[in-house]
Amino acid sequence: MSQVIDQLLEAPRVALDIESDGFYNYQDRVCIVTLSSEQFNVVVDTIALGEGARDMQRLLDRPEVPVLMHSGQNDVLALKRDYRFNFGLVHDTAVAAMLLGLQHTGLAALAEAYLGLKLEKELQRYDWSRRPIEREHVHYLINDTRHLFGLHDLIIDELRKHELMDEYIIECDAVAQSEPRKREFDPERFRKIKGHGELSDAQRGVLKELYAWRNGVAEKLDRAAFRVTGDSTLLDIARRLPRDLAGLEQIRGLGDWLLRDNAAELLRIVDEAQRRPVSVKPPKRKPTGPLPLRMDPAQRDRLGRLKRWREKEAARRGIGLQAVLPTAVVNDLVLQPPADKAQLAEVPRVGKSRAERYGDEILKIVRKPEQ
């Protein structure tokens, strides 16, 4: 691995993509990293390498050498989570496509549009934790990186024509600086299950505890929650409220292994949770940090005007909304309007180019009348 990294360090740029197993397992982990230069491609089995995979850090945190990615934010977050990597200069072709306002920003769509290539995507739901890595999968894996060089050069030409390079660097830096959040189970997400509002409060109490039970089983088995049993199965149990094993056996989606190991627990939950009814109205959550600023009617009006201006400007220039002004900063500009263009340029994700081009119009919209 060290020798491979040494070779890649000689390249003027590298491309990177990862495959993980979050679709199958409870704890998402990086399973494969594919690295490419314009001369060769490498598929890295990070499960086999273990701590040895940390040597890739030497490639990633160089501020002058770009790492090419496509839709790289999830990859950055996963690599930071698993290996605590730092990233220097990221170039993301999906970010470029978004700034250009392209309708289809997936890698397969862009490769066909710009390079005339049809990439295979049938393995998107493959379990990449399976070993050994099949020889026929290597071609699929390297297709996610080896074409990024040509695609990047063509799409960068378009960014330059639209005078969007400053915006591109800012948005790519946001990808590089993104930080993973600790995964926390939220028991109130049972309310996302379609049909919970049609239950009685007692049935809803059962559904809530079944949802938490499934999470516990999924975590113990390191299996994605839906692969323990589906939402519709939990909802069916809460509707029927089975009293015995025969009743559970009538529920679709409860596999033999699940009944064998968990029937008694399921029946206990059904019996006891009915005595802990849950309202259809979600509880008020206690704030865990500073309360967000709330807009008054005048600010909401300015927010609407800012968004309408952004839409018109994007249409006028033939670019994406995010190229004009990232959604992440729109509210903040209204709630805490900058005093002048210099302050506007200092707002994260805005930058000098946007401030110089749009500053007068933005400030006119977001300032209070007395300003």
* pLDDT, tens digit, 9 for 90 and up, residues 25-81: 998 999 999 999 999 999 999 999 999 999 999 999 999 999 999 999 999 999 999
- Chain-centroid distance of CA 231 in Å reads 22
Sequence-separated (6 or more) residues with CB below 8 Å from residue 86: 57, 60, 61, 80
Mean pLDDT of the 79-84 span: 96
Q: What 3-state DSSP class applies to 111?
A: helix
Structure tokens at 127: 């379990």
Q: Which residues pair with 16 in a beta bridge?
A: 35
Average pLDDT estimate for 199-228: 96
Report the DSSP beta bridge partners of residue 30: 20
pLDDT at 137: 93
How far is Cα 78 from Cα 33, in angstroms, rounded to an integer?
11
The structural domains of the chain, with segments of one domain joined by +, span 2-177, 187-273, 297-366
289 falls in which pLDDT band (50, 70, 90)? Answer: low
Opening angle at CA 246, ends 243 and 250, nearest 5: 100
Give the count of beta carbons closer than 10 Å to the beta carbon of residue 193: 20
Q: How confident is the model at residue 155 (pLDDT cuts 50, 70, 90)?
A: very high
- CATH class of the domain defined by 297-366: mainly alpha
> What tokens does 242 get?
């089975």
**CATH pick for 187-273 out of 3.40.50.10490, 1.10.287.3510, 1.10.150.80, 3.30.70.20:** 1.10.150.80
Q: Could you tell me which CATH number the domain at 2-177 has? A: 3.30.420.10
Question: Identical fold at 187-273 and 297-366?
Answer: yes
pLDDT exceeds 90 at position 312? yes
**pTM for this model (two decimals):** 0.88
Q: Within 13 Å of residue 193, how many CA atoms lie on the same side as its CB?
A: 27
**Per-residue pLDDT tens over the stretch 250-259:** 999 998 999 9
